[in-house]
Amino acid sequence: MKLKSLGLRTDLIFTRQDGEIHDRGSYIVVKTNSNPNFFWGNLLVFDTPPTPNVLPDWERLFDQEFIGTASQHKTFAWDSEVIGEVKQFEEGLYRFERSLVLTATVDQIVPPAHLNLSLRIRTIKDSEWESVIRVQSATNPQYGAFYAKQAHTYQKMIRDGVGLWFGAYLGDLLVGSLGLFREDEIGRFQIVSTDPAFQRQGICGTLVNRASQYALSDMGLKKLVMVADENYHAARIYESVGLKKKKKMYGVCWPGPNP
């Protein structure tokens, strides 16, 4: 099964470093071995959107594929911009997720309207990951444990030459960060975060712009991909620096008996 969605395809950059991918023909099994309860890192991706009454079949396949693992949730995505029959999932207490896939060739990236010239943008050092996790957790406190766990995967990928993590500094204080990882000539952004105490200062746009410049000059990337929540305001910031909405991604997740 060949994935059409650049969002789904670049998701697999991370699974290949720390997991398993199994192609079953009409669906793909994605497993993140180090974090079996990472909802969107342990899922089934189908080649078509959900049809009426498909929920029991999809759940049966999930249980079959994840038997013997610690995963307690169920997550499904599909490689189509058609929403399909999601009501059955919502009635079964699944969360319906909508995401935007934004892309740009590296030369389409432009400076944001509010370019923060006070920022110093550079790649972070190993000793600075605690500050990265602090900023991420300040943005989304409920995901603090997840960010700490994922940091180990990102650090390994950076050591293996698969990507870099960029920090935005005001003086010596980290106020924002993002990751940029590669597969061939395509780069995928990860966890763009700004410390809530420093929002509305052009940090996010400046960070994406400068990291993109580095992607062109030092990483040899030609296309950049960003996946954002459809209703998240940051998508407008990404568009302001040249990324364009290309596709939508849909999925559903049941977080398990103890979400």
pTM: 0.92
DSSP string, the chain: -----HHHHHHHHHHHHHEEEEE-SSEEEEEETT-TT-GGGSEEEESSPPPTT-HHHHHHHHHHHTTTSS---EEEEESSS---S-HHHHHTTPEEEEEEEEEEEGGG----SS--TT-EEEEPPGGGHHHHHHHHHHH-GGGHHHHHHHHHHHHHHHHTTSEEEEEEEETTEEEEEEEEEEETTEEEEEEEEE-GGGTTSSHHHHHHHHHHHHHHHTS---EEEEEEETT-THHHHHHHTT-EEEEEEEEEEE--S--
pLDDT < 70 stretches in the chain: 231-232, 259
Spatial strand order in the sheet of 173-183: 19-23, 27-32, 43-46, 74-78, 244-254, 95-105, 223-229, 186-194, 173-183, 163-170, 120-123
pLDDT of residue 231: 67
For the segment 196-226, what is each residue's pLDDT rounded down to a tens digit?
Answer: 999 999 999 999 999 999 988 889 899 999 9
- Chain position carrying tokens 């943008």: 121
Portions of the chain given CATH number 3.40.630.30: 104-247
Q: Please tell me the predicted confidence (pLDDT) of residue 257.
A: 85
User: What is the topology classification, in CATH, of domain 104-247?
Assistant: Aminopeptidase (3.40.630)
